[in-house]
């Protein structure tokens, strides 16, 4: 049932990245772990379909490749009304906000409204970080069954990003279970010393958690309980709007 | 040389979209114009690679599909420093800005910093609009040879979006040539009555135009020459920063 040629073609697309922006045929074949003949046919197909550029020596992706991810972005359950609610939230709080979806051990950014630069870190759509280190990831872990959460904690790569990163698995379990009780999460300086955020779960019509909404907190004010409470109230309004629209959508 | 199975697989991904978020096997086969057996094998492959979800009846894309476009976003020549310059521009002007790349008759949005909601229109990454109607598209058309511009104007679908849309091809040619002389473009209310923007070209190391940077203008102030001049000065600074960093990048 499995179509090898299709899987290898996808693998070829994925060989391109920050350090591999332009590649020769041999680069692609080596990185994808396929023969030169196979790489040549797949790159030729991508060239023909207008997804890659070839300058005679180097292949590079063309922006048309975004059409593939765009099929997802434009068909997202949240759709345009989530973007509106996110704009309102960002403008009320003058902070960036993001929607991310738990996929395996990562949260993938699927929408972001960015209001100013708090940090040198960039969070592009399609980017991913470990779920337990994101304010929009923890509420999704909190929604897992105890067994699934234990499995996550036992198998996730728990890396130290900053001196503030919680790397103790029992401590993480305790934090995530407490977040489950109160319905929201705060992550302070664990991914980047300049990044603090508050997060809440987004639900589908059946009430199942399907994503997380995160709102940036100014790191210099993130220890003030009044600031957290204000952010909690604001993000809760946005969550209510988005969940309400998801329910309405039929 | 052409790998049919790979091309059909890409076609299957592209059948998903705003009106086709969830599809049965038959929907996919019909929309992609392929046999049910072929659609079944390709969907099975996507399922196995974790790019689609199947609930027993309907297939839908998973956010992991963004990995494919992400290869491009993360390998973009502009990279993170363009995002920084865009953040600075957006924060100095309190306006949204975007980078878009001319591909055929469209400009594709590859980066966007959105500071507040000026319009009901949403401009997601990977979205596309006709080049001649975008402030970041016209500078790219202006960089074409006279022959290539004539070919564009002769063949592009020139659609009326608002009462302000310029649909006369000779008038468009005159506007774009004047933009070529002065080095920037303004588009007022032609795509959407609530959208005005100013645009300038971005160049690679060899000085070739490779993208456009657009900056939103408040529609209620877009007819004031002082407002346009202020926006022109601000966008020029950002273009200089980005072009300088692209040159430095080696």
The per-residue pLDDT string of chain A (250 residues; one tens digit each, 9 = 90 and over) reads 899 999 999 999 999 987 888 999 999 999 999 999 999 999 999 999 999 999 999 999 998 898 888 778 776 656 667 888 888 898 889 888 999 999 999 999 888 887 765 555 667 777 889 999 999 999 999 999 999 999 999 999 999 999 999 999 999 999 999 999 999 999 999 999 888 999 999 998 888 999 999 999 988 999 999 999 999 999 999 999 998 888 776 4
A239 to chain B, closest Cα gap in Å = 18
Q: Which of B40, B59, B75 to mutate to test the interface with A (most CBs of A within 10 A)?
A: B75
A215 to chain B, closest Cα gap in Å = 15
Can you tell me whether residue B61 is helix, strand or coil? strand
Flag if A114 and B113 touch (Cβ within 8 Å): yes
What is the arithmetic mean of pLDDT over B181-202?
A: 95
Q: Which two tokens stand for residue B6?
A: 């790979």
Query: What value of ipTM does the predicted structure carry?
Result: 0.81
Q: Where in chain A is the domain with CATH 3.30.450.40?
A: 76-248
DSSP annotation of B25 reads: H
Q: Could you give the CA distance from residue A187 to residue A135 in angstroms, rounded to a whole number?
A: 5
A139 to chain B, closest Cα gap in Å = 18
What are phi and psi for residue B112, nearest 5 degrees? Answer: -155, 135
How confident is the model over B98-110, as pLDDT tens digits? 999 999 999 998 8
Q: How many CA atoms lie within 13 A of A104 on its CB side?
A: 14
CATH 3.30.450.40 fits A76-248, yes or no: yes
B223: which strand partners? none
How confident is the model over B214-243, as pLDDT tens digits? 999 988 999 999 999 999 999 999 999 998
What is the arithmetic mean of pLDDT over B176-190?
A: 96
Q: Are A107 and A133 in contact (CB under 8 A)?
A: no
Q: Dihedral (C-alpha) A19, B245, B216, A83: value to the nearest 10 degrees?
A: 20
How confident is the model over B59-95, as pLDDT tens digits? 999 988 988 887 777 666 566 678 888 888 988 898 8
Q: Which two tokens stand for residue A84?
A: 């509106």
Which is nearest to B194 in space by CA: B124, B117, B123, B119?
Answer: B119
Q: Could you give the CA distance from residue B126 to residue A17 in angstroms, rounded to a whole number?
A: 17
For residue A72, what are the contacts with CB-CB under 8 A and spacing of at least 6?
A110, B16, B61, B62, B63, B65, B66
What is the arithmetic mean of pLDDT over B110-120?
A: 69
Which is nearest to B92 in space by CA: B245, B236, B247, B242?
Answer: B236
Question: In the prediction, which pLDDT does A17 show?
Answer: 84
Element (H, E) at A111: strand A106-113
Flag if B103 and A68 touch (Cβ within 8 Å): no
In CATH, what number does B4-67 get? Answer: 1.10.10.10
Radius of gyration for the alpha carbons in chain B, expressed in angstroms and rounded: 20
Question: In the prediction, which pLDDT does B161 show?
Answer: 94
Flag if B103 and A67 touch (Cβ within 8 Å): no
Burial class (CB in 10 A: 0-12, 13-18, 19+), B103: middle
Flag if B6 and A74 touch (Cβ within 8 Å): no
Q: Which of B8, B63, B103 to mutate to test the interface with A (most CBs of A within 10 A)?
A: B63
Question: In the prediction, which pLDDT does B159 show?
Answer: 94
pLDDT for residue B117 is more than 80: no
Q: Where in chain B is the domain with CATH 1.10.10.10?
A: 4-67
Integer CA distances (angstroms), A156 to A131, A170, A197, B159, in order: 9, 13, 21, 51
Q: Hey, which CATH number is domain A4-65, 3.30.565.10, 1.10.10.10, 1.20.1250.20, 1.10.3720.10?
A: 1.10.10.10
Question: In the prediction, which pLDDT does B77 show?
Answer: 57
Flag if A110 and B63 touch (Cβ within 8 Å): yes
Question: In the prediction, which pLDDT does B116 show?
Answer: 62
Sign of CA dihedral A189, A192, A193, A196: negative
Using CB atoms, pick whichever of B61, B64, B104 lies closest to residue A108. Answer: B64
What are phi and psi for residue B49, nearest 5 degrees? Answer: -85, 0
Question: Which bin fits A137, alpha (ψ -120 to 50), beta or left (φ > 0)?
Answer: alpha
B170 to chain A, closest Cα gap in Å = 29
Which is nearest to A153 in space by CA: A139, A183, A180, A174?
Answer: A174
Flag if B64 and A103 touch (Cβ within 8 Å): yes
Flag if B66 and A45 touch (Cβ within 8 Å): no
Using CB atoms, pick whichever of A44, A69, A116 lies closest to residue B70. Answer: A69
Q: Which two tokens stand for residue A7?
A: 């899987």
Flag if B63 and A72 touch (Cβ within 8 Å): yes
Q: Which two tokens stand for residue A22?
A: 């332009």
pLDDT for residue B7 is more than 70: yes
Nearest-10 crossing angle of helices B66-75, A66-75:
130
Using CB atoms, pick whichever of B42, B69, B87 lies closest to residue A69. Answer: B69
In chain A, the residue whose alpha carbon lies closest to the alpha carbon of B75 is A18
Question: In the prediction, which pLDDT does B236 show?
Answer: 97
Q: Where in chain A is the domain with CATH 1.10.10.10?
A: 4-65
pLDDT band at B180; cut points 50, 70, 90: very high
Sign of CA dihedral B120, B126, B129, B135: positive
């Amino acid at each position: 049932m499995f179509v090898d040629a299709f899987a290898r073609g996808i693998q070829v697309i994925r060989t391109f990245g920050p350090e591999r922006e332009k590649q020769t045929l041999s680069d692609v074949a080596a990185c994808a772990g396929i023969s030169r003949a196979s790489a040549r046919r797949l790159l030729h197909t991508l060239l023909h379909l207008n997804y890659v550029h070839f300058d005679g020596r180097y292949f590079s992706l063309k922006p048309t490749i975004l059409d593939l991810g765009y099929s997802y972005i434009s068909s997202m359950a949240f759709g345009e009304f989530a973007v509106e609610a996110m704009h309102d939230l960002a403008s009320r709080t003058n902070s960036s906000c993001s929607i991310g979806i738990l996929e395996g051990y990562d949260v993938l950014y699927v929408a972001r409204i960015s209001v100013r630069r708090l940090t040198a870190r960039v969070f592009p759509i399609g980017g991913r970080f470990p779920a337990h280190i994101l304010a929009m990831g923890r509420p999704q872990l909190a929604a897992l069954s105890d067994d699934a959460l234990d499995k996550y904690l036992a198998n996730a790569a728990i890396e130290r990003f900053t001196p503030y990163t919680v790397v103790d698995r029992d401590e993480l379990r305790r934090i995530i279970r407490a977040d489950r009780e109160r319905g929201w999460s705060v992550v302070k300086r664990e991914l980047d010393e300049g990044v603090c955020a508050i997060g809440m779960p987004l639900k589908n019509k059946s009430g199942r958690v399907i994503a997380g909404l995160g709102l940036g907190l100014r790191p210099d004010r993130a220890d003030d309980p009044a600031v957290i409470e204000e952010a909690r109230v604001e993000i809760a309004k946005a969550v209510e709007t988005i969940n309400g629209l998801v329910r309405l959508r039929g």
